[in-house]
Amino acid sequence: MATRSTIAFYLPEMNYVPSIYCHYDGSPEFVGQALWLEYNSFDKAFELASSGAIRGLLSDKRNENGYYDVLPFEKLEFFEEFHLPEMNRSFDELATNFLNSDRDWMYVWFQKEGWMIYRKNWENNSVEFFGSLNKFMEKFLKENA
């Protein structure tokens, strides 16, 4: 079973919040790590969130350290039937669409803060702030060193 996620880009000056669907490995240990390693800049975050639905951000092969390699943008596999990003009119609309979807995790790029993580609480049907991706990765790397 896939752990689905939403990847979005939020800039208050824009009249929309682009987001995409990511089918596989949506948890912070996988998609989060890939965003932190490969898509951790304004330009790369915007390009990714404005691209269209993807299968995943990781290759299916492990590197010499035992981790899956992060796919650069030009190697991503897109779903042909969902080739456009989702255009939300506001952050609230983004959160509502995430809540009404079958996705478990949501990653949103903010210009000053970088990637922030949200998760769906299926029991009370709410969106919960999980934390900063930078802080998650600091803890994750320390625990897995």
Q: Is 25 left (phi over 0), alpha (psi -120 to 50) or beta?
A: left
Q: Give residue limits of the domains in the chain.
A: 5-143
Is pLDDT of 1 > 60? no
Q: Are 108 and 11 in contact (CB under 8 A)?
A: no
Distance CA 63, CA 51 (A): 26
The residue that leads in pLDDT, 43 or 71, is: 43
* pLDDT (tens digit per residue) in 81-137: 766 899 999 999 999 999 999 999 999 999 999 999 999 999 999 999 999 999 999
DSSP designation for 144: T
User: Do residues 109 and 102 make contact, with C-beta atoms less than 8 angstroms apart?
Assistant: no
